[in-house]
A = this chain, B = another copy of it.
């Protein structure tokens, strides 16, 4: 093991920090620590401008290969970028679905034409994407896709059905959709992966109001909506393969950036404890110390994951989502317990508002992207090789 940093890394770290210091100013100052899950509705217009600011500095798609328009950074440097970006309070990325999910999928599975058509807009921070996977009847059971699609004589595709939990659909130009192209097929067979413009007659977007009041998630209704013939990624039937490749891309290097944000949140909790006098409360002290221990665990766990330590089976990767989501949810409860009555009334105080958001939205952390229950099944079955849930007798 070696936790020393190289000179080159340090130089790059300074480069990122300096750029952020220089550019996250002026009209962008209000964006510091804003956006991201639970706060996606914070000034989307300005955050889109910020995406173009980043693009101008070539700080979008830093992990993409250069031939795809990316910066081609090493894993080490990607991590450093994400850390310094978050440390500086860089706003939640409006472009993360395009940059983190669709882009990598296109680079891996897309045609040259598709790459040429879509990657530049993502790199430039001018095209924003939404994700069309989950359905009312396909949550934990993700493969139970009911949305169907069929090909017209002219080769174009039509889509009918409903997607749900599509974050920022109302702020995006495009959506990628997993739909059933083989009538009668079941589960992960017979699916197609389609790219569709959201602004078309066959598509209606409705916000879903959350418990915290915001509506960053949407339902998207498709009624014979159109996708061009050349806008299917992979062959009809390959949809699941493409979609899964993309979900894997979701995890990884951004984790340490996420943790930098978590650290910022814990700092807010510590500051709140000082302000409310709860820093003298022995139970609060225990919980804060425990939360800090969790931060260290997540950091070292991510380092294990990224350095591919351990054997074929990446145990640390398997526990990752379950660990961080429950840690984060506990932090949310700790935050409001520290605030006490101050947490009860919606606040604009920058020392309080983010903690209220944390409290409410972190309840979603253990539900989306694989509920706790699904995660524990995976850990038991893949991590420990325990028997699969027996199918009930027909």
Count copies of this chain in the complex: 2
Interface residues of A in 347-394 (CB under 8 A from B): 390-394
> Which range contains the number of A residues in contact with the other chain?
under 10
A289 to chain B, nearest CB (A): 12
A393 contacts which of B283, B286, B390 (Cβ < 8 Å)?
A: B390
A6 to chain B, nearest CB (A): 44
Closest Cβ neighbor of A282 among chain B residues: B282
Closest Cβ neighbor of A393 among chain B residues: B393
A392 contacts which of B283, B286, B393 (Cβ < 8 Å)?
A: B393
Please measure, in the bound complex, the distance between the C-alpha atom of A283 and the C-alpha atom of B285, giving whole angstroms.
Answer: 11
A381 to chain B, nearest CB (A): 15
A61 to chain B, nearest CB (A): 47
A18 to chain B, nearest CB (A): 46
Give chain B residues whose Cβ lies under 8 Å from the Cβ of A282: 282-283
Closest Cβ neighbor of A394 among chain B residues: B393
Interface residues of A in 248-285 (CB under 8 A from B): 282-283
A84 to chain B, nearest CB (A): 38
Interface residues of A in 81-133 (CB under 8 A from B): none
Give chain B residues whose Cβ lies under 8 Å from the Cβ of A283: 282-283, 286
Please measure, in the bound complex, the distance between the C-alpha atom of A40 and the C-alpha atom of B286, giving whole angstroms.
Answer: 40
Give chain B residues whose Cβ lies under 8 Å from the Cβ of A394: 393
Give chain B residues whose Cβ lies under 8 Å from the Cβ of A393: 390-394
Closest Cβ neighbor of A390 among chain B residues: B392
Please measure, in the bound complex, the distance between the C-alpha atom of A323 and the C-alpha atom of B371, giving whole angstroms.
Answer: 28
A286 to chain B, nearest CB (A): 7
A 32-57 binary contact with B (CB < 8 Å = 1; else 0): 00000000000000000000000000
Interface residues of A in 272-316 (CB under 8 A from B): 282-283, 286
- Known A283-B286, A390-B393; further 11 A-B contacts with Cβ < 8 A: A282-B282, A282-B283, A283-B283, A390-B390, A390-B392, A391-B392, A391-B393, A392-B392, A392-B393, A393-B393, A393-B394
13 contacts between A and B (CB under 8 A): A282-B282, A282-B283, A283-B283, A283-B286, A390-B390, A390-B392, A390-B393, A391-B392, A391-B393, A392-B392, A392-B393, A393-B393, A393-B394
